[in-house]
């Protein structure tokens, strides 16, 4: 269960998001009778304050190695530009074989994903995003695309404009602001050109854009899925050469509360879509903090510290780093 202190600090819509993530794996014990739907047991975690790293996730009971601790659905996703028409535009599932989707047409792996996308896609499809896409492609950017989708979700009423405020923001350097302002202008102008009502776009200020981008920057997960067919493997190899091996990126609420450790006791896995599963890497005791590794654990101490400092704004003091391993 979520800690009582955390509940008091969270507005109702954020509690709904957390419940959506944590209880999205309800199992049906009947073929089609909705009255037979049952909820799984609550995940064995609580979110509360740590002594040195802000909020963290803690075990509420012993957890065994290999156990799936909980599942989570993303709040917002976006495909990599190199695979824009080759993965599901909603869940990022890889396209298998030929599906009759023409060039320049978004692919959806199921009717469910198509239906879930309809609201924000109705807003998004009205705009011309070629300039923003080209800007991001030329500079190797991905997070402005996620802000674009989130803005569309806000405009269609799917989420609140402050739905990411609960997440920790990245530290932004002054030299980053001019580029962010350029991205914001591209985004705002694309919406203006399709005559979206001012009241619908009232939230879309430069401050909102920078605030959201700062949170996505530090909380987004890079989604890499196993390749299926030989053709998929070739496509992945091409993407890798283009320095974009991921199928896309996603932001979650609960997984974003996991703190970092260079010798983590949990990790997050993706099987065939952006739906995430948090699994235990070893036996975990009740009350122990659950931690994941934000970076490549095979790097040496100096490299890890550099990336964590520059990319996440902290110096790691885990036992592995303190021992110089």
Pairwise CA distance, residues 188 & 245, whole Å: 29
Q: What is the pLDDT of residue 314?
A: 84
β 259-260/289-292 pair status: parallel
Write out the chain in H/E/C secondary structure: CCCHHHHHHCCHHHHHHHHHHHCCCCEECCCCCHHHEECCCCCCEEEEECCCCCEEEEECCCECCCCEEEEECCCEEEECHHHCCCEECCCCCECCCCCCCCCCCCECCCHHHHHHHHHHHHHHCCCCCHHHHHHHHHHCCCHHHHHHHHHHHHHCCCCCCCCCCCCCCCCCCHHHHHHHHHHHHHHHHHHHCCCCCCCCCCCCCHHHHHHHHHHHHHHCEEECCCCCCHHHHHHHHHHHHCCCCCCEEEECCHHHHCEECCCCCEEEEECCCCCEEEEECCCECCCCEEEECCCCCCCCHHHHHHHHHHHHCCCCCCHHHHCCC
Q: Which residues does the chain have with pLDDT short of 50?
A: 1-17, 19-20, 22-36, 100, 228-244
Chain segment 25-76, per-residue pLDDT in tens: 333 233 344 444 556 678 999 999 988 878 999 999 999 999 999 999 999 9
Pairwise CA distance, residues 130 & 145, whole Å: 11
What domains lie within the chain, and their CATH numbers?
A: 12-72+257-299 (2.170.270.10), 76-251 (no CATH)
In the sheet that holds 266-270, the strands lie side by side as 68-72, 276-280, 266-270
Least Cα distance to 120 among 153, 146, 148 occurs for 153
Q: What is the pLDDT of residue 241?
A: 35
Pairwise CA distance, residues 218 & 213, whole Å: 9
Q: What is the pLDDT of residue 7?
A: 33
């Amino acid at each position: 269960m979520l800690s009582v202190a955390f509940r008091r600090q969270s507005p109702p819509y954020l509690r709904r998001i957390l419940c959506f993530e944590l209880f999205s794996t309800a199992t049906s014990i009947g073929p089609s009778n909705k009255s037979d739907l049952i909820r799984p047991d609550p995940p064995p975690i609580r979110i509360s304050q740590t002594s040195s790293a802000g909020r963290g996730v803690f075990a509420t009971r012993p957890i065994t190695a290999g156990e799936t601790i909980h599942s989570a659905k993303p709040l917002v996703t976006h495909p990599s530009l190199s695979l824009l028409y080759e993965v599901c535009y909603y869940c990022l599932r890889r396209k298998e074989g030929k599906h009759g989707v023409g060039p320049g047409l978004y692919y959806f792996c199921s009717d469910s994903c198509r239906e879930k996308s309809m609201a924000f896609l109705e807003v998004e499809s009205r705009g011309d995003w070629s300039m923003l896409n080209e800007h991001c492609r030329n500079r190797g950017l991905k997070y402005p695309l996620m802000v674009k989708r989130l803005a569309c979700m806000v405009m269609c009423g799917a989420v609140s404009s402050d739905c990411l405020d609960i997440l920790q923001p990245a530290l932004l350097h002054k030299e980053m602001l001019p580029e962010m302002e350029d991205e914001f202008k591209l985004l705002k102008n694309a919406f203006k050109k399709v005559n979206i009502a001012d009241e619908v776009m009232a939230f879309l200020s430069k401050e909102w854009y920078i605030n959201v981008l700062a949170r996505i920057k530090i909380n987004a997960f890079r989604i890499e899925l196993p390749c299926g067919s030989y053709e998929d493997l070739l496509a992945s190899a091409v993407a890798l050469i283009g320095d974009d091996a991921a199928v896309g990126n996603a932001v979650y609420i609960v997984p974003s509360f996991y703190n970092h450790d260079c010798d983590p006791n949990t990790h997050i896995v993706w099987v065939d879509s952006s739906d995430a599963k948090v699994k235990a890497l070893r036996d975990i005791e009740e009350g122990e903090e659950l931690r994941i590794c934000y970076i490549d654990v095979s790097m040496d101490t100096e490299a890890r510290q550099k990336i964590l400092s520059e990319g996440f704004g902290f110096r790691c003091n885990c036992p592995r780093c303190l021992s110089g391993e």
